[in-house]
Structure 1
Amino acid sequence: MKRVQDWLLRFRWQKLLLVWGVFLLIAAVLFAERSGVQYTHTRFRLSYLPQEQAISKAQALQEQPATCLLLCDTRQSGVDNARELFTQLLQDMKVAADVVDLAEVSVNDLPAPENYQTAVVLMPNVEPLGEELLRLMNWVEDGGGLLFGMSPSNDRYFTVVSAKLGVLSTSGEYKQAESIVPAEGFMLGGGQRYELSDPFDSSLAVALREDTEVYAATGDEKVPLIWGRRQGRGRIVVDNIGIYDKVMRGFYAASYSLLQDAVAYPVINSAVFYLDDFPSPVPGGDGTYIRRDYGLSISDFYSQVWWPDLTQLAERYGIHYTGVMIENYEDDTLSAPERQTDTEQFRYFGGLLLRQGGEIGYHGYNHQPLCLPDTDYGDAYAYNQWPNADAITAAMDELIAFQKAVLPYAVGSVYVPPSNILSAAGREILGTRVPGIRTIASTYFEDGSGLPYVQEFDVAPDGIVEQPRIVSGGMVGDSYMRLAAVSELNMHYVSTHFMHPDDLLDEDRGAAEGWEVYKGGLVDYLNWLEKAAPHLRKQTGTECSGAVERFAALTVTTTGTNDAWELTLGNFHDEAWLLFRANDGVPGTVTGGQLTLLTGNLYLLKAEQPTVQILRQEG
């Protein structure tokens, strides 16, 4: 050792050694960054349940006694849509319900409301109920919770009970529900105006009694859309919205949660941010606006502007992105899959994504949806079909093997269909022949074409987790998407968002406005989300799927005394999340969980044990 030290002291170029050392260090760091080796296995804070323990919402409710009576009359206009909405809504809230249709059952054969805790009436004209309507009103007096879920018609039977519904008078005229403004403290995101798509004259113009509380109204004429009041020992709530689209579920769920002294229902508690087509080869497209704004090539824009900006947003808002990989952009669905040879983009961006705490899933071997020749894209898309199931399986096997080769530490399990298109045959192949796929993240809403794979948050019979994406892009201030976002915060306490790197190459997706405007819209949404739901967990796709599994399996029974509420949770695993509304009393000490005030009398409950006790505060 001393000889080496003496030699270094005599070496005339010793100062150069320091310079060389610095250059070698820089080179090593750059090499590590470009090759993506400085990351470890993805560490999920919440992962999948054992497959034998993951059950669907329907399975979870099978053994639950019905506590809600849903009365409808499908002979009346709009009732089919309202019934579909409420049936799904009650299932998601884990409320077992008996559904009785007066189009099929005589009014004399209706179940007694005394056998239930709550009842939902879905018929604008309540005349078919006859004297049963008065029986329902007496049941409310004795402690029942009654929800009129459809805008009422001004018929003679409505006139008889209107005072008990909180109505002082009505002109009989219907007003346009152009927007909805939930009262501050009633819902997450309350106190703000949300625009309704394609509004029409759907809401009965009413004047309400002083002892009636308005929970939501239109933004322009202040027409009451949701109101409620105490009636004896029970509660009555009226939904006067008149729109029964999927996008409105959260408003109806919030209405239902007003019916009892305390209402608790399972939620997911997750916010996920997907990057479609990422990592992938540098996409083709028109880089005109990127050159206009930055003077950069498409590739340099992604590495020098787009990704650094996304990294800053991730650090600011606690996001862990989920990228979904495309191996190539070739349209060939007939030839055997060929391995992508240019892997630099995949290793570089994939490594950075994993180092950021993110996750990488699958988008496709190429960007062709998993559809066989029986799928007709019409004029909507120029995609090619796959010739048979073997071709689809081979393409998925190649994609999974390619990811493992270029990013050996990635743990992929989430599949996102290109353009959210996935045929029934393709869906079956994923569930039976591609065991690496544990989650499908497609879309929550129809688009009118019939092509998208539309999902509910659930566990499918083949064990795959269904995790739909709700909003997209940088313009989430758009009226429909913001409405969808606030609705789902109150329905499932969830936000699933996706965007594409190549949005900035397509004028229809905001290219002309430029990245700064697009990014500004995204920041606006993130600020809104943080304010509306500050306790929402930021998760990756797999973590959200773990949360969906726990949500789907969970059941809840709430009982109350003068001193406390007790929640008994079925199919409880390691944790559970619920929204808890205290309509009568203020929660105090909690045993078996943690309670966080969200707004008004609405709380977020983290259950840590299968039995949770919430004491009522004195006074």
Structure 2
Amino acid sequence: MKKSFYLKRNVYIMLIAIILLAVGVQISRTQYILQFSKNKSLVENHRIASQNPGRTIEYGGPAYCVVYDSIDVGSVKVNDNVLRTLQYMKKKTVSMDIAQKPLDLNGCSVAIITDYSLEEMGHISTLSSFVEDGGYIMFTNKLELDQEFYQIYRKIGIVASGSSAQVQGIKLNSNVLIGEKDLVVDDPFINNDSNSVELDDSSELLASSISGVPLLWKREYGKGAFMVFNGTMFQEKINRGLFAGAISLLEPDYIYPVFNAKLMFIDDFPSPIRQGTISSIYDEYHRDIPRFYHDIWWPDMLKLAKRTNLKFTTVLIQSYNDQVKGPFSSPVDEDRYNLISYGREVLKSGGEIGIHGYNHQSLQMSQVVADNYGYKVWPNVEEMSASIKEALRYANNAFPNYDIVSYVPPSNMISKEGRDALKKAWPNLTVISSLYEEDVTNMSYIQEFEVAKDGIIEFPRITSGYMDSPFERWAEANSMTSLGVFSHFVHPDDVLDEVRSKNLPWSKLNEGMSEKMKRVQKTYPWVRAKTATEAAIDMEKVLNSSVTWTRAGDSIHGMISNFQTDNYFILRTKKSILKTTSCVVSKIDENTFLVKASKSKFEIRLDG
């Protein structure tokens, strides 16, 4: 009898185990299917929103008058960066070319002077009177020490000045870049031509060079204030966040929208995996390259995503051949097994799969560009288009119910002809992600955060690599302050490359990446993890809206036109938050708040 009883109990245990296993599999499949459904829903939202691509948004409120000299190259570069930054901040701008007509600040609430010569401004008393009466002026270029400078220098906070010199690096004496007070970047890529100046006690120093030369300061004057940048680095796009932070500290109770998105791209994944061994991996893990990716690298990346709140956007490669003429079907090195195996885990973890290309030959037709990258030249648009169709067929066979809609160009390079080929082969292409920062070779595909005239969303990447570097840290801090965006990419085979890995083993690269992402999470705990398509479509909704601000006593009232989803804003104020209506306000730094507006009309009441 006892044997029979134990037999029945074992059977029950086995049945329960089978049922639990089935439930687990079903839950896993449900999550997988939900990800498919979510992606289709995002694409449909974009189709609706993109029925009127390139819609011009008019911004209300007081004007930001951006003064530049079209004859001076440096002034034009600064002017372009300032205008684009204010456009992201949804501020009404008026561009004034003093090479064409005299300065006139009537109707301006803020004047941003991008020229270095005050002599071009006409009567210098116009500037000081404008600020004294309650206006705000920011100088975004090192000022020439001319006669006009010496008429105003005391009013902008300077007690003594000397000759100019090249100064390196930057130290933030404030949180002009959100979350980065006391950040020191001592690297040659930050270089300014700056005047030697001494500031008065009433000036608020926000940033200085490594050698202590004041670079950025605020000086209240009358009812308004001056913001002075004593350098030349605003000519470069990477420094837009410093301008955004400075302008947000110039006026009281400053509020502006951000996209609020954190993205992590993995280029060349899934893709054919190189066979064989390399000593740096085998000595540490006793595995060949395919087993290393399967057993070590990919589990480590999944753990990183879970620990630091990331969603991966992975972009696949079908083959590493250099073929630029069809037919392209079934290359010998394609790896459908790994595509399905890794791809399923990407989707189950909440990530996204996009296309990097049929192969890694950038879609372009210039021999000069091809030679620079060591690639081949595509003969025509038709061959490029055929290769993309093959990559889509390959992906769709592996994931037949999944809409693949995001693209990252190989080596961040694509020509106009290549973009035409994409559109021809891929009607539901939704987002292209290349690079944000300028390329010294002028060969990369450089983007802004925008919706192109053809309806494709441009959502660039800003930083890259497993390890922190001064440049990457600075670029990250600037993009987070100006846009509320962290957009980063890595490659699986960085560990195989001596240059990209800096000769470090995976254990060190993994440690560096973990420390980097823990720092990002600690500095910006408010930023939302997104895939490329999620972030792009959210951004599209923000770009298609405008915000009208009104002040009534101690309250800020916001009204969002074309409101579709929660909107996020950065509020800089020294006042306390007393009450909110239709929004949530969270402190994210000293005198800095994240505002989440859940309705088209919302209110923030401040302690006056």
- TM-score when normalising by structure 2: 0.91
Deviation at 1:153, TM superposition (A): 1.9
CA displacement, residues 389-408 of structure 1 (integer Å, 9 cap, x when unaligned): 22222222222222121123
Deviation at 1:387, TM superposition (A): 2.4
2:359 maps to a residue whose letter is N
Tell me the SS of whatever aligns to 1:47: helix
CA displacement, residues 249-280 of structure 1 (integer Å, 9 cap, x when unaligned): 00011111123222222211000011111112
Alignment of 1:162-561 (within 5 A): 162-184=153-175, 187-200=178-191, 202-218=193-209, 220-243=210-233, 244-283=235-274, 287-339=278-330, 342-372=335-365, 374-377=366-369, 379-475=371-467, 477-510=468-501, 512-561=503-552
CA displacement, residues 397-431 of structure 1 (integer Å, 9 cap, x when unaligned): 22222212112343321101111111111112323
Which has the larger displacement, 404-413 or 544-553? Answer: 404-413
CA displacement, residues 506-549 of structure 1 (integer Å, 9 cap, x when unaligned): 11111731101111221222122112211010111111112221
Mapped contact 1:61–1:94 kept (Cα < 8 A): no
User: How far apart, CA to CA, are the structure 2 residues paired with 1:176 and 1:245?
Assistant: 16
Deviation at 1:229, TM superposition (A): 2.2
User: How far apart, CA to CA, are the structure 1 residues paired with 2:490 and 2:107?
Assistant: 48
1:575 maps to a residue whose letter is D
Mapped contact 1:268–1:547 kept (Cα < 8 A): yes
Mapped contact 1:114–1:139 kept (Cα < 8 A): no
Mapped contact 2:386–2:425 kept (Cα < 8 A): no
Aligned to 1:3: none
Deviation at 1:28, TM superposition (A): 9.5
Which has the larger displacement, 421-430 or 17-26? Answer: 17-26
TM-aligned CA distance change 1:256 to 1:286, over 3 Å: farther
Question: Is residue 598 of structure 1 aligned with residue 588 of structure 2?
Answer: yes
User: How far apart, CA to CA, are the structure 2 residues paired with 1:26 and 1:330?
Assistant: 45
Which has the larger displacement, 148-157 or 65-74? Answer: 65-74
Aligned to 2:145: 154
Alignment of 1:8-157 (within 5 A): 39-42=32-35, 44=38, 47=42, 49-54=45-50, 59-62=55-58, 64=60, 67-76=63-72, 78-105=74-101, 107=102, 110-111=103-104, 113-131=105-123, 133-157=124-148
Deviation at 1:18, TM superposition (A): 9.9
Deviation at 1:482, TM superposition (A): 0.8
User: How far apart, CA to CA, are the structure 2 residues paired with 1:32 and 1:332?
Assistant: 42
Deviation at 1:135, TM superposition (A): 1.6
TM-aligned CA distance change 1:258 to 1:569, over 3 Å: same
- TM-score when normalising by structure 1: 0.89
User: How far apart, CA to CA, are the structure 2 residues paired with 1:605 and 1:224?
Assistant: 32
Which has the larger displacement, 134-143 or 490-499? Answer: 134-143
User: How far apart, CA to CA, are the structure 1 residues paired with 2:377 and 2:278?
Assistant: 29
Mapped contact 1:189–1:486 kept (Cα < 8 A): yes
TM-aligned CA distance change 1:44 to 1:256, over 3 Å: farther
TM-aligned CA distance change 1:520 to 1:88, over 3 Å: same
Mapped contact 2:59–2:547 kept (Cα < 8 A): no
Deviation at 1:64, TM superposition (A): 4.4
Which has the larger displacement, 163-172 or 300-309? Answer: 163-172
User: How far apart, CA to CA, are the structure 2 residues paired with 1:70 and 1:57?
Assistant: 27
TM-aligned CA distance change 1:570 to 1:140, over 3 Å: farther
User: How far apart, CA to CA, are the structure 2 residues paired with 1:554 and 1:368?
Assistant: 38
Deviation at 1:364, TM superposition (A): 0.9
TM-aligned CA distance change 1:564 to 1:156, over 3 Å: same
User: Which runs of no fewer than 5 residues in structure 2 stay unpaired?
Assistant: none
Tell me the SS of whatever aligns to 1:395: helix
RMSD: 3.2
User: How far apart, CA to CA, are the structure 2 residues paired with 1:526 and 1:24?
Assistant: 39
Tell me the SS of whatever aligns to 2:302: helix
Tell me the SS of whatever aligns to 1:603: strand
Mapped contact 1:66–1:98 kept (Cα < 8 A): no
Deviation at 1:175, TM superposition (A): 5.0
Tell me the SS of whatever aligns to 1:538: coil
User: How far apart, CA to CA, are the structure 1 residues paired with 2:177 and 2:22?
Assistant: 56
Residue 574 (structure 1) aligned to one of 565, 571, 576: 565
CA displacement, residues 331-359 of structure 1 (integer Å, 9 cap, x when unaligned): 11212121366421111111111111111
Mapped contact 1:118–1:259 kept (Cα < 8 A): no
Mapped contact 2:571–2:595 kept (Cα < 8 A): yes
Which has the larger displacement, 167-176 or 83-92? Answer: 167-176
2:444 maps to a residue whose letter is P
2:470 maps to a residue whose letter is S
Q: Number of residues paired by the alignment?
A: 601
Mapped contact 1:196–1:483 kept (Cα < 8 A): no
CA displacement, residues 49-76 of structure 1 (integer Å, 9 cap, x when unaligned): 4445359997443464771111112334
Mapped contact 1:337–1:394 kept (Cα < 8 A): yes
User: How far apart, CA to CA, are the structure 1 residues paired with 2:48 and 2:415?
Assistant: 26
TM-aligned CA distance change 1:38 to 1:104, over 3 Å: closer
| Identical residues among aligned pairs (%) | 28
1:119 maps to a residue whose letter is A
Tell me the SS of whatever aligns to 1:357: coil
User: How far apart, CA to CA, are the structure 1 residues paired with 2:423 and 2:59?
Assistant: 27
User: How far apart, CA to CA, are the structure 1 residues paired with 2:520 and 2:162?
Assistant: 39
User: How far apart, CA to CA, are the structure 2 residues paired with 1:57 and 1:114?
Assistant: 34
User: How far apart, CA to CA, are the structure 2 residues paired with 1:44 and 1:169?
Assistant: 61
Mapped contact 1:237–1:259 kept (Cα < 8 A): yes
Higher relative contact order (CA 8 A, sep 6+): 1
User: How far apart, CA to CA, are the structure 1 residues paired with 2:460 and 2:193?
Assistant: 29
CA displacement, residues 448-476 of structure 1 (integer Å, 9 cap, x when unaligned): 2222111111111111110111111112x
User: How far apart, CA to CA, are the structure 2 residues paired with 1:25 and 1:612?
Assistant: 50
